Amino acid sequence: MSPLLDCHDLTVRFGGVTAVNAVSLAVDDGGDVVGLVGPNGSGKSTFLNAISGLVPAKGRLTVAGKDVPLGRPGAIARHRVYRTYQTPQVNPAMSCLENVLVASTDTSLRGVVGAWPLRPGMWRHEKRRWQEAAEALERVGLLDRANDGAAGLAYGERRHLELARALLARPRLLLMDEPAAGLNTAETSRLARLLRGVSAEGISAVVIEHKIGFIEELCRRIVVLEQGIQIAAGPPTEVWRDPAVMNAYLGEAL
């Protein structure tokens, strides 16, 4: 069986800089979680950007065996692959609930036909969307902030809001860029527990993170980048002992 996500020799160049150099990574369907680690500037975010089509890239990308065109934002979302960002992307002018609801926009009941004769159906449908959005907020611990403006959220809370929005879109695969950044120890372990639950539901993920405990708790396998090159891959506890990995992290606080 082919992996859910299969990245083969992805390469991204910015002018003379090769930010990602022929990196391959595979994630299985049904809750597999792969960690992507490496020092700052090693190309981790750029790798996720390449998968998401946000930067021009070379190589081959398939989801569930189907080719996904590179360099086209949104192409991979059709396969229910969703992303959260290193800098959380929430709309500060909207409430938390509204920020989550935008993930489930449904056009099936739009237009004159949807708006008048099918109105009872539309209301039922809307009610379900609101319920699901509220459940997603509850899951990430933000239900009591549902009607507050997203502008008032702390950095870590914005990441949780982004996660709620991604979960509501019923992903098959989540791409997460430093989801635990800005969280304290208790918040980090709560997030790890939440993401383990997400994985147990069958949602797979690629997770970029610096926090070793968090990565070990979540990931079956990790891939280590240094200056755009994959220098190691395997189970986390083995990879940390690899001299090439220790060397890459020299001088970096983990």
Q: Which residues in this chain contact ligand ADP in the complex, by CB under 6 A?
A: 14, 17, 19, 38, 40-46
- Please list every residue from 27 through 66 that binds Mg ion, using CB under 5 A: 45
By CB under 5 A, the count of residues binding Mg ion is: 2
For residue 133, CA distances in Å to 24, 168, 235, 244 come to 35, 7, 35, 44
156 binds, among Mg ion, ligand ADP, none (CB under 5 to 8 A by kind): none
For residue 224, CA distances in Å to 18, 186, 249 come to 16, 26, 10
Q: Which is nearer to ligand ADP, 37 or 164 (CB)?
A: 37
On whether the CB atoms of residues 49 and 42 are closer than 8 A, the answer is no
Q: 157 — phi, psi (to 5°)?
A: -70, -35
Distance CA 201, CA 241 (A): 31
| Per-residue x/- track, 170-189, Mg ion (CB under 5 A) | --------------------
Q: Which is nearer to Mg ion, 104 or 227 (CB)?
A: 227
- Give the 3-state secondary structure of 40-75: CCCCHHHHHHHHCCCCCCEEEEEECCEECCCCCCCC
Q: Which is nearer to ligand ADP, 73 or 197 (CB)?
A: 73
38 binds, among Mg ion, ligand ADP, none (CB under 5 to 8 A by kind): ligand ADP
Q: Which is nearer to ligand ADP, 52 or 99 (CB)?
A: 52
Residues that bind Mg ion (CB under 5 A): 45, 86
